Structure 1
Amino acid sequence: MKYGVLVFICFAVTLLSCKNDDNGGPEAIPPSLLSDVAPEDDETIREFLNTHFYNYEEFETPPEGFDYRIVIDTIAGENADKRPLMEDAESITLNVSSSFLGLSAGEENIAHKLYYIEAREGGGESPTYADSTFVKYEGTLLDGTPFDQRSEFLWQELAGTVQGYSNGVAQMKAGTSDQVIDNPDGTYSIANSGIGLIIMPSGLGYFHSPNSSVIPRYAPLIFKMELGAFIEDTDSDNDGIPSIQEDLNGNGYLGDDNTDIDQESSFTGFIPNFRDSDDDGDGIPTRDEISDENGNIIIPYPDADGDGVPDYLDPDN
């Protein structure tokens, strides 16, 4: 699931039509507006949720040998009496800005609704959208076409994925370490892992620039996922600040929190704080600015001039 390029590197993308302009060249078509696509996606998703169901009965009363895989089907024919996904779905609203997706339209904080279903609640706690997680997943379009899958558990940093996925996984509960099973074939399973669905609009996914030829532009996405474990307070850059604390504006997206962006350039690369070991760019590692002489982290973080900005975010201290 290669999301980092989309999420953390802003780029300008221009779509070209086959129609020529007056100069004989292709006519440039700018990306659609977030404010136009978001309500269209939500209408499409809601229709899907009202006309489809998953194998909830097997999760409620597991038959012998049940593999706990989510199967989605249409409510029709012999399945006409099934409970629609909408009745099980919960939702959260996340704001998306054009800068998140490398757009130049200048739209800020456009509301997008994310839907999720816990088919089996995990026995543990929930990660944050900034934690490293031990997961299995399958990504599909609404019509079931798969575009990415991991059938065995792998470690995945949620902050390196699209916003809908990271915030969706954060709504689930993981399993617990005492329920890990080491299988004879060398794989692992977790008896009380969390299993669920995430259904997201394109603005929380790839919007106009999908990372796969299978995904159309402006496509809502589904992820079936199993959450086995997570690392609490993941520190992606090992600077002593948990990544979740590096979301300074609290918008559920870590890619736009970059204290020393004025000192960076497109040539050297823009590095958000959760990936930057020197958040204020003053040449002193963040860890050194928050630690005592014995290397112990000082809480609250030092603020030498008392201006309310901790030293690790203040280039003048």
Structure 2
Amino acid sequence: MMKLNKLFILMLLVSISIISCKKDDASTIEPIPVRDRGEQAIADDEALRAYLQTHFYNEEDFQNPAEGFDYRIKLDSIAGSNSEKTPLIDSDLLSTKMITRDDVEYTIYILKIREGFGAHPTFADSTFQNYKGELLDQVSFDNTANPVWFDHPGTLSQTNPGIVVALTETLVEFGGASSFTLNDDNTVNFTDDFGVGAVFLPSGLGYFNLSQGAIPSYSPLIFSFQLYKVNEADHDQDGIPSYLEDLDNDRIVVNDDSDGDNIPDYLDVDDDGDGTLTKDEITVNEDGTVSFPDINGNGIPNYLDEDEFENVNENQ
């Protein structure tokens, strides 16, 4: 028993020593320096182009859809029995779009398999869609089994807006289904003309140097989707569609705050903070368009002018 006790004590001391060494080692690990965004954009674009040159999508499935086809895009590498497939880079359905963020111009690659016959969303609307997110090594990190509503401004983070901006700037190029029917069990059937596509985007419009679950840092990303329905959003119900509350025209509404109350205008029922609701300072016309009266003629519409009654008589 004495020997066992001594052995236990010895093992305990060794364990403590190992744990202490690990803590000391961990404390000396240097954080990975943040890479230059411009240089990373170039590297990511090279990776994306290499992927597009060596991968294809299930084109035949879309050309001759079987009964019950789910219109999901499947990507695979050109090799073996697939060696004769057409690379994505050579597809007539692939286009590019430029997006500038953090003073860097990024290229995203958009595969428009079917544009869709319904309404197109704006950058501030909500979309009803399926989507799949995957890495260039074809590892999936997100996948919807059933369609979900995607509120573009509501999912936008001011600290990392890129990933939503890239998806949003892709979806504005697509339309939803032209119509739908509501079944007795409250499920919905959409007409077979909804938008189908994918976007290939650099890490600078993704998580950049941050790792998120299965997504390593500096990872270009792929999102494929089926767009079923679009809802023009007026998030604060003030009568002004949310996309019109982008006052600086950067196509992001979370950073527009006219009265500085830390509530962006698209969520603020009193944009200028003068105590009068925005909906009472605008005019919604019979055709649904919105007019913005300027009672004192100073070039600032009433709903953004906290002193709209100042010098009214002088300017009339």
TM-score, normalising length: structure 2:
0.77
Query: Cα 1:291–1:120, aligned 2, differ >3 Å: closer, same or farther?
Result: closer
1:182–1:189: 8 Å Cα contact kept in structure 2?
no
Query: Cα 1:295–1:116, aligned 2, differ >3 Å: closer, same or farther?
Result: closer
The one-letter amino acid of 2:251's match is: G
The match for 2:292 is 301
The one-letter amino acid of 1:215's match is: I
Matches within 5 A, 1:193-208: 193-208=194-209
| Offset, 1:84 | 1.2
The match for 1:176 is 178
The match for 2:16 is none
Query: Cα 1:299–1:55, aligned 2, differ >3 Å: closer, same or farther?
Result: closer
1:131–1:157: 8 Å Cα contact kept in structure 2?
yes
Separation of aligned partners in 2, 1:137 and 1:32 = 29
**RMSD of Structure 2 on Structure 1 (CA):** 2.9
Matched, 1:289 2:281: yes
Matches within 5 A, 1:52-71: 52-71=55-74
The one-letter amino acid of 2:258's match is: T
1:167–1:252: 8 Å Cα contact kept in structure 2?
no
The one-letter amino acid of 1:301's match is: F
Separation of aligned partners in 1, 2:116 and 2:267 = 29
| Offset, 1:160 | 2.8
SS at match of 1:92: strand
The one-letter amino acid of 2:129's match is: V
| Offset, 1:76 | 1.6
Separation of aligned partners in 2, 1:69 and 1:314 = 49
| Offset, 1:170 | 1.2
| Offset, 1:191 | 2.0
Query: Cα 1:272–1:52, aligned 2, differ >3 Å: closer, same or farther?
Result: same
The one-letter amino acid of 1:275's match is: L
SS at match of 2:119: coil
Matches within 5 A, 1:81-100: 81-86=84-89, 87=91, 88-97=93-102
Separation of aligned partners in 2, 1:171 and 1:19 = 53
The match for 1:272 is 264
1:236–1:274: 8 Å Cα contact kept in structure 2?
yes
SS at match of 1:160: coil
The one-letter amino acid of 1:158's match is: H
The match for 1:40 is 43
| Offset, 1:90 | 1.0
Separation of aligned partners in 2, 1:259 and 1:296 = 27
Q: Of the two, which has the highest radius of gyration?
A: 2
| Offset, 1:91 | 1.5
TM-score, normalising length: structure 1:
0.77
2:116–2:196: 8 Å Cα contact kept in structure 1?
yes
Percentage of pairs with the same residue: 40
Separation of aligned partners in 1, 2:289 and 2:88 = 47
CA offsets, 1:160-195, max 9 Å, x none?
341111111111121112x44649794644422111
